[in-house]
Structures are given as structure tokens and as C-alpha cells.
Amino acid sequence: MQQDPDAHAPVRALEQLKEAVVRGELDAIAPLLDSLHPAEIADGMESMPQEQRSLLWNRLMPEVRGEVLLELHGDARSRMIDEADTADLIAAVRRLQGDELADLDAQLPPEILDGALRAMDKDRVRRYQQVRTFPDDTAGGLMDADAVAVREDVSVALVMRYLRRLRQRWGHMPEHMDSVVVIDESGRYKGMLRLSDLVSAEPGRAVAELMVTEIAPVPADMAAQTVARLFENRDLISAPVIDTDGKVIGRITVDDIVDVILSEGEHRVLGPVGLSAETDIFAPVTTNAKSRAIWLGIHLAGAFAAAAVVSAFERSIEQLVALAVLMPVVATMGGVAGNQTVTLVTRGLALRQVDRSNTLRVLSKELGVALLNGALWAVIVGAVALIWFGHLFLGAVFGVAMLTTLLVSALSGALIPVAMSNWGIDPAVSAGVIVTAIADVMGFLVFLGLATMLLL
């Protein structure tokens, strides 16, 4: 019988918390909140409607509220800021670290930001001002300004004495510290000294002998996504950030990179259906409806373009109504195949697998896939149409239209994301809707056009 708390405890506590809130068992809430991490409380709040979020917020300790706010995502965070009491917000925000405040400041109303900055200690304000000079999606925006740095010419014993003094001054060590930065006399980056090497070294050895130099410093203006690739590929825990003079100004830790990777993933999942990664599933109906209405409108334009093509062949449909029965099949299949290509190529662009050097190869491969699948399904759908309508030439036209539409979908599915990416437009959001519209228009045009020429 395992009675000790284990790593399953937060999952259970979160479920109990949600139940307690739904049932209005207010006494049960406080101990559950105590056992949860701010990020877990934020997770729980994101699975509740706003009135329940406010109920929890009011029961949180002031020192936890700032962390919870930091862990709420996009729209959920903005709504909580709108709903919360101004004095409570100032009390919550002033307890954050400088770099944490910099992650949040864009969403704070000016009176709350000013109030918090006036109440914060000088050191935190200074760090905040240092980090906020960099855009959020750069290394500078991600960094913490609390890098511990030592000189390369000192001994292990001296470093330890220095760290003990730092600990006395701060009362604790920085979070996620796996190494200290090694600098020269002018503050320029030289290498990293891993704590595991420090604790296992003889006290008399020099830092220069122990430091590792293969961790390249990250320029403050490097894009957050590029930093994420670097952490992924080199399995980093932390990396030093340098300014344009090569001076160390902070460090990035892997927990911030995990957030970058998660929000990239959200964007690539939600973008293709026209939703923002900020979307709050429990936002009010009107908020949700507005953003999605625009997306439906864009698709509607494509659908009406396709309808206009059908309209041009009204006579043909009157003569052979089987065309109306079969035409949506061609368009649907083109859209599905085109979106497979879009998804693969967009992923390839994001992972830098696809670039100018191999676009042609990707295109020819996708056309090859479309040719094989088009030929296969052309024969099958042609046979189905033949049996269904007893019309050999209708079957043949249906099959040829299917093959042609799949080829056009593959062509546009490969080229449109690459072109958008070259023009600096994000293909994850809009390449799919364009390729779907092309598949619809071409599907109807090829099928109805061929049928009109050959059958009627």
C-alpha cells in the first residue's frame, strides 16, 4: 500500500478541485489549492467558466495570484485581468520577478503596471526594464537577468565561497541553475562551468580547466524559435545570452523553451482551422463566435467561387443530373489530398526540412503520390459510377476528373505554402483554406467541363 504522495497527486487534486468548485464545496478548496502548483491551478482554471475562475482567484493567496496569472494563456489571462480587482492585481503583479513581469506587461492596463512598478523593489524594476527592451519572441525576451558569472582564472574553492556569499545575500539560489557562466575580465563569455563538475572537482583546480566551451552563447536578438531548435538539438538546460559586444546579460532556461515549443505546437494545430493559439475554450459565446465568423466568411468566399463554376454548367446538370450527384465527391477528395500535402510541407518548412534546395524534389514527390493515388481512385470511382449509373463514359470522365483534381491539389498544396513562406506569410494559417478553394473550383471545373465536352 503506497500512502506517500506521488507524482499522481496533482492530477487527483485537480480533479477534486474542479468537483469542489462545481458542487460549491468552498471549505474543500483551500487545502486543495495549497497542494497544487500555480501552473496546475491555472490549468484547472482554464477548464472552468469565468465565474468559477473568479471564485478560485478570490480564494488564492496574494503571493500565488501573480504566478497563476503568468501561467494562464492568452485570452484566459486577459479575461482574468479584466475581471479581477485592481488592488488585488497590483498586489499580485508586484511580487513577480522582473523577467516574469516582462512576459505579462503587454496585457496589463497602465494603472496596474504603474502601480506594481512603484511597489516593486529597485532590483526587480531594473531587471524588468532590461528584459522588456527585447521583443517577447527573441532570446532577450525569454531570458532571466539572474545569470551567476565567475572569472575563468579563479579556483573551485573560491567559486564555492562566492556562491555561499550569494546565497546568504539572496536567501536562495536562482531557479534551474545547472551551471555558472564563465567570463573574462571585461564580462565577455568564455564558457560554462557545470555544477556537477564543480561539486566533483578538487578545490584547488582552476575554473578554466573545468569549464566546457561547446555551449555557444545566444545573441539577445535571436528568434525564440531558433533558440528552441538549439535547446532541442543540443539537449541544453540553460544557455547564456550575450549582447552585441559579447557581454553576458542573462540566461535562458529550458522551462521557458518548453513554453515556446508548446505555443508553436498550439499554433500549428489551431492555425489550420483559423483559430488563434490564444483561444480560450470557455470564452463567452460572442468572443468565440466573432473570431470564427471571419474564418467561415473566408471559406464562404471560396465556396461561392466554386458555386459560380457549377452555375456555369447548369444546362449540363439539367441534361445529366448524375453530374450533380458525383461532383461533390471530386471536390472533397481534392480538398482532403491537398490538405495532406499542405500539412506535410508546412511542417517541413517549420522544421527547416524544406527549403529552396529541395522544393522541386518535394513537389515532384507529391505529384508522384497524387499520380499513384489518383490512378488508383480514378479506377475505383470510375467503376462505382459505371455500376451506379450504367454509363461507361460518365465513369471514365469521373475517374479522369478525380486524377486531374488530385494532381492540381498536390501542385497547389506543395507550392502555396512555400510561396507564402518566401513572402513572409505564415502558411500554417491560410495555406489550407486557399488549397481547399482551389480543389473545389478545379474539381467542379474539370468534372463538369469534361462531361459537357465529352458526354453531352
**Grid cell of 38 as nine digits:** 500555480
- Give residues with Cβ within 8 angstroms of 107, minimum separation 6: 77, 78, 81
**Residue 200 burial class via C-beta count within 10 angstroms: exposed 0-12, middle 13-18, buried 19 and up:** exposed
b/e burial code for range 100-136 (CB count within 10 A of at least 16 → b): bbbbbbebbeeebbebbbeebeeebbebbebbbebee
Q: Which of 30, 61, 318, 393 binds its own copies (CB under 8 A)?
A: 318
| C-beta of 93 vs 414, nearer to its own copies | 414
Residues 7-46 that bind its own copies (CB under 8 A): 7-11, 14-15, 18-19, 22, 37, 39-40, 43, 46
Work out whether 403 is an interface residue with its own copies (CB under 8 A): no
Residues 72-101 that bind its own copies (CB under 8 A): none
Rounded-to-integer distance, Cα 439 and Cα 341, Å: 12
| C-beta of 105 vs 280, nearer to its own copies | 280
Work out whether 177 is an interface residue with its own copies (CB under 8 A): yes
DSSP state of 252: E
Work out whether 154 is an interface residue with its own copies (CB under 8 A): no
Work out whether 361 is an interface residue with its own copies (CB under 8 A): yes
**Grid cell of 283 as nine digits:** 470564452
Q: Which stretch binds its own copies (CB under 8 A): 83-91, 101-109, 127-135, 346-354?
A: 346-354
Work out how close the CB of 151 gets to its own copies at its nearest, in angstroms, rounded to a whole number. 17
- Determine the length of the chain: 456
Strand partners, 144: 251
Q: What is the largest CA-CA distance in the chain?
A: 96
Residue 147 near residue 153, CB atoms below 8 Å: no
| C-beta of 294 vs 424, nearer to its own copies | 294
Q: Which stretch binds its own copies (CB under 8 A): 78-86, 95-103, 116-124, 292-300?
A: 292-300
Residues 113-152 that bind its own copies (CB under 8 A): none
Work out how close the CB of 204 gets to its own copies at its nearest, in angstroms, rounded to a whole number. 12
- Residues in the interface with its own copies (CB under 8 A) total 148
Residues 225-284 that bind its own copies (CB under 8 A): 226-227, 229-235, 237, 239, 242, 244, 246, 254-255, 257-258, 261-262, 264-266, 268-270, 272-275, 279, 281-282
Q: Which of 87, 123, 355, 387 binds its own copies (CB under 8 A)?
A: 355
- Give whole-number Cα distances, 418 to 35, 357, 361, 427, in Å: 48, 12, 13, 8
Work out how close the CB of 111 gets to its own copies at its nearest, in angstroms, rounded to a whole number. 30
Q: Which of 59, 151, 205, 347 binds its own copies (CB under 8 A)?
A: 347
Work out whether 295 is an interface residue with its own copies (CB under 8 A): yes
Work out whether 392 is an interface residue with its own copies (CB under 8 A): no
| C-beta of 86 vs 353, nearer to its own copies | 353
- Give whole-number Cα distances, 209 to 60, 167, 236, 237, 238, in Å: 49, 25, 21, 21, 20
Strand partners, 218: 241
CA-based nearest residue to 241, from 179, 181, 178, 162: 181
Work out whether 51 is an interface residue with its own copies (CB under 8 A): no
